[in-house]
Structure 1
Amino acid sequence: MIVLLGQLVSHLGSAFTQFSLSVWIYQQTGSTTSSALILLSGALPEILLTPFAGSLADRCNRRLILMWSSLGAAACVLVLAWVLYTRPSEMLYVYLAVAGSALFATLQPPAFVGSVASMIPSRQLGRANSLIMLGTAGAPILAPFFAGHLLGSIGLSGVVLLDLLSFLVAAACFFCVRFGQVTPAPGSSFRPGVMLADLRLGMRYVVARPGLLWLLLFSMVLNFNTGMVQALITPVVLSFTTAAVLGQVMSLGGIGALVGGVVMSVWGGPNRRIRGVLVFSLLQAVALCASGLRPSVPLITASAFIFLMLFTALAATYHALWQIKVGTEIQGRVFAVRTLVGLAFTPLAYGIAGPLADHVFEPLLMPDGALASSVGAVIGVGPGRGAAFLLSLVGLLAGLVALIGLVQPRLRRLEDDLPDVEQQPGAAHGSTP
């Protein structure tokens, strides 16, 4: 409970800063590109380091990883606070500080998840994991609502200092609690060559199974669309309302994700999981298309709620597919490949969303723009409407990809062509992962 409290505080602090920085930069620059670069700064270290973070957690002292990564992230946040106080107009230093904090934070999830079983009895793992998931889901719901108001009362510097305090609290919690340690197997020292060999093995496993390869490619496009949404949602909403209202919209969207999780835990998901993944993504596309139709808080709130509710259902079904089709003895290496390849297009989304919105779609939907009398007659003209139109086009792309998936035989017949793990020759029986 002590460690869980530290993690909850740390997640809240980071979510406060991420939301506040995105809003502050857009308010300072009026540029979607500048706002999206914050997301890119946080995403690149995660994508590049996550495949290696799991191997590091399996081969090193997890308690030290958690404690020192918290202190490292705190140091980066302290640098960010200094930059904001002394040279707030120099955005490059802001991006570098965010990237440094993200790099240290990426080391934590594998080490934390791997430490849970060493701290508590196995009979309590179900309750512990439920508490972890509740804390993980709670931060995105609470943070935008409170950060939107904190940004107006204590300013960005105050929010960043709260984030610094949250990392120090997390480090203190790790320092106070004794962890049971996993003894690495002989010859399993952390070496880059071993990590690259793990990635190659995981990639060969996926490529040899065309259905899984198509599923991985499908996830790349889904993650690209999600990255575009993350980059565009702040400028779209702030173009017609305040940061406090944006926080409320995102918090209500987070409640949608929580509702999706509760529904999936009770329902268990569709019997035909691949069909569920494709249908959920198609319904997501409809909600995304609707979000850009009008500058309306109720409309975009409802769209965010539905989008994130379906996102949770889609993610749970997607992960279940991999779990039942991939043997437990290789799931870690396949997970590394899924992370590296599945998220490969996310930085691209962050990188192009801003320039497309700022330099292509915004001018087209200004009062004298080329699309003002056609598209503008439907969705409106003026600041933010170009980004909203781009958001709707992303929804159309997502819908098209889902329809292609429904007719692509390798993907549609994945569950028929590839047997479940327990049905595959040589699969272990009667064991619990």
Structure 2
Amino acid sequence: MRVGRGARFGKSQTFAALAVPNFRMYVTGAFVSNIGTWIQRVAQDWLVLQLSGGSAMAVGITTALQFLPALLLSPFGGLLADRVNKRKLLIFTQSWMALSALGLGALTVAGVAETMHVYLFAFVFGIGAALDAPARQSFVSEVAGTEHLTNAIGLNSSSFNAARLIGPGIAGLIMASAGVGWAILTNAVSYLAFLLALVLLNRSQLSPSEPVARAKGQLREGFSYVLHRADLVIALGVAFAVGTFGMNFQMTNALMVRGEFHMGAQAYGLLGSIMGIGSLLGALIAARRGKVPSLRFVVSSAIVVGVIITASGFAPNYIWYAISLPITGLVVLLTLTAANMYIQTSVDPQVRGRVMALYMTVLMGGTPIGAPLLGWLAEIFGARASLIGGGLLQLLVIAAVVLAVRRRAAAADQPTPSVAEELEEIDVVELNSSASTPAAPPAANPPAPPRRAPVTTR
């Protein structure tokens, strides 16, 4: 008897979630779309460098404008994800981003694009992304089901980072042979794959969470839920540090290639693919996890990210810099996937959309702060300063978040053990100083997350 494709997938712990037909379709469509996203990310930064005469500040402003809506709109996007049908919301947001890419690509191919056009379309694209991200993150549990959720999160990251491996290299080839505009138009077309997958999903096999009825104060409830969970405060603080100062690789790679190594578009695109090797490996390692990673692992791996990014700023030439990128990609992916898994599996389903919106807000919403700041450092001190300064600032923010949580716990008369013990035990410590203060939305008080053994990696 022939063994079905889903059965074969189900025997592998790494690919267990692919046994679910809906998830296979979803992740395939997302993979094609993600390739297009990485093509545009590379092409857009290179376009800005061309139009602005090599201005690092212009690249930083473009990145900031693209991620500014995440800071402003992601909480609202999370509330929408909790209230409405996530599949229909994703169809709307994916169509919005496809049209944005089409507009910028058409202007560029026509030869009339200017720096201000890129700024405008980056902001418009960012609006769609801000509303899309919380729904997309929380929709994974509906497509894959709770049984395979941890594995599905890892495979979803694998899809994104496999695309990172492929996309930048394709971008370099398209830009070198046909021009930047055609690379951006490629992204517009790639959205059709994800839209088709969303339309073809078997809706009877989805596992939707109960929609939250419209009521006043629901955004505030999401913030309150997080603020009364010390473990979530630390996990979100780590995501903010990495997202703001450690996740500007498209900008820093462009600055290093053009300003430090004096090379062209193909060399720039190649760096993205090289980094994607480490990111893909990290995603596959994360997908094999049988248990949710500990908070201590999340913080420790983020510290390693800061150290590696700082060290990469001292790379003496293009080869050594390229060698550092797979290591960076590996550790960044392990850190962010661990934080994502930890948060998604320890929150009440009724607030998952709002909590994941806060996660995406701090992960991407800090970019409007970090990108211009790092661009300014590069303008004043050279391209290397964007990496060295970014790594050191990331370490500083992580330390500040952990110390702030410990002090608040101490002010609430909670025990203050050593840092290692604190990070292991903090997930059961509430930050409310009064037992009468609710730690969750009125609908349901979430149980304290279970004790987790630390997860180690080689």
TM-score range, shorter chain: 0.7 to 0.9
Give the match's secondary structure for 1:93.
helix
Cα distance in 1 between the residues matched to 2:342 and 2:146:
25
Task: Indicate if the aligned counterparts of 2:295 and 2:427 stay in contact, CA closer than 8 A.
Answer: no
Structure 1 CA distance, aligned partners of 2:403 and 2:141? 43
C-alpha displacement of 1:130:
6.3
Name the SS for the 2:67 alignment partner.
helix
Is the Cα contact below 8 Å between 1:325 and 1:418 reproduced in 2? no
1:158 aligns with 2:182: yes
Matched residue SS, 1:141: helix
What TM-score comes out, normalization by structure 2 length? Answer: 0.73
- Given that residues 231 and 353 in structure 1 are in contact (C-alpha distance below 8 angstroms), is that contact kept between their aligned partners in structure 2? no
Q: Of 217, 220, 243, which residue of structure 2 is paired with 1:200?
A: 220
User: Which of residues 297, 311, 315 is equivalent to 2:318?
Assistant: 297
Q: Does 1:91 align with 2:111?
A: no
Which residue, 32, 37, 40 being the options, matches 1:9?
32
**In 2, Cα distance between the equivalents of 1:47 and 1:179?**
32
Q: Give the C-alpha shift of residue 39 in structure 1.
A: 1.7
* Alpha carbons of structure 1 residues 138 and 36: separation in structure 2 relative to 1, 3 Å: same
Q: How far 1:317 moved relative to its partner?
A: 3.3
CA shift, 1:147, in A, is 0.8
**Amino acid of the structure 2 residue aligned with 1:279:** S
Q: Distance in 1 between matches of 2:253 and 2:449?
A: 47
Secondary structure class of the residue paired with 1:30: coil
Matched, 1:252 2:274: yes
Confirm or deny: 8 A CA contact 2:153 2:341 kept in the other structure. Answer: no
* Aligned equivalent of 2:389: 393
In structure 2, what is the Cα distance between the partners aligned to 1:345 and 1:316?
18
**Per-residue deviation at 1:247?**
1.8
Alignment check: 8 A CA contact 1:73 1:104 kept: yes
Q: 2:46 is matched with which residue: 23, 34, 38?
A: 23
In structure 1, what is the Cα distance between the partners aligned to 2:75 and 2:156? 22
Deviation of 1:209 after TM superposition, in Å, equals 4.4
Distance in 2 (CA, whole Å) between partners of 1:408 and 1:24 is: 41
Is 1:67 paired with 2:91?
yes
Offset from partner CA, 1:365-396 (integer Å, 9 cap, x none): xxxxxxxxxxxxxxxxxxxxx12134223323
Residue 74 of structure 1 aligns to a residue whose secondary structure is: helix
Counterpart of 1:287 in structure 2: which amino acid?
I
Preserved CA contact (<8 Å) 1:115 1:179: no
Aligned to 1:372: none
User: What is the DSSP-based 3-state SS (H/G/I as helix, E as strand, rest coil) of the residue aligned with 2:213?
Assistant: coil
- The verdict on how the C-alpha distance between 1:250 and 1:268 changes in structure 2, with shifts beyond 3 A counting, is farther
What code does the residue aligned with 2:255 have?
A: P
Residue matched to 2:453: none
Contact between 1:81 and 1:161, CA under 8 Å: does it hold in 2?
yes
Structure-2 residue corresponding to 1:374: none
Aligned counterpart for 1:223 among listed residues 235, 243, 263:
243
Q: Which digits, 9 at most, give the CA deviation of each residue in 1:312-354, with x for residues without a partner?
A: 2222333454456645554443333333345543211122222
Letter in 1 for 2:226: V
Note the 1:29-428 alignment, pairs <5 A.
29-86=53-110, 88-112=112-136, 132-177=156-201, 179-180=203-204, 188-189=213-214, 194=216, 197-210=217-230, 212-239=232-259, 240=261, 241-266=263-288, 273-322=294-343, 326-341=347-362, 343-358=364-379, 360-361=380-381, 386-401=382-397, 410=406, 412=419, 413-419=422-428, 427=447
Q: Quote the Cα distance in structure 1 between the aligned partners of 2:389 and 2:349.
A: 39
Aligned partners of 1:50, 1:408: CA distance in 2, in Å?
25
Rounded to whole Å, the distance in 1 between the matches of 2:55 and 2:246 is 20
Taking a change above 3 Å as real, the CA distance of residues 101 and 208 of structure 1, as seen in their structure-2 partners, is: closer
Q: Per-residue displacement from partner, 1:147-167 (whole Å, max 9, x unpaired)? A: 111110011121122222222
* Residues in 1 aligned to 2:226 and 2:150: alpha-carbon distance in whole angstroms: 30
**Distance apart, 1:175 and its partner CA:** 4.1
Tell me what 1:377 maps to: none
1:375 is matched with which residue?
none
- How far apart, CA to CA, are the structure 2 residues paired with 1:65 and 1:154? 34
Name the CA distance, whole Å, in 2 between partners of 1:321 and 1:183: 20
Q: Which blocks of at least 5 consecutive residues in structure 1 are unaligned?
A: 362-385
Asked whether the 8 Å contact 2:57–2:375 carries over to 1, the reply is yes
- SS of equivalent to 1:427: coil
SS at match of 2:167: helix
Instruction: Specify the alignment match of 1:381 in structure 2.
Output: none
**RMSD, matched Cα:** 3.8
What TM-score comes out, normalization by structure 1 length? 0.77
Give, in whole Å, the separation in 2 of the partners of 1:13 and 1:27. Answer: 21
Q: 1:120 to 1:399 in 2, by over 3 A?
A: closer
Q: Compared with structure 1, are the counterparts of its residues 183 and 131 closer, same or farther at alpha carbon in structure 2 (3 Å cutoff)?
A: closer
Classify 1:325/1:300 alpha carbon distance in 2 versus 1 (closer, same or farther; 3 Å): same
The percentage of aligned residue pairs carrying the same residue is 25
How far apart in 2 are the matches of 1:116 and 1:402?
28
Secondary structure at the counterpart of residue 428 of structure 2: coil
2:455 aligned residue: none
After superposition, the Cα gap between the structure-2 partners of 1:209 and 1:166, relative to the gap in structure 1 and judged at 3 Å, is closer
CA distance 1:416–1:25, change in 2 (3 Å): same
Shift of the 334–402 alpha-carbon distance from structure 1 to 2, 3 Å rule, reads closer
Q: Which residue type is aligned with residue 388 of structure 2?
A: S
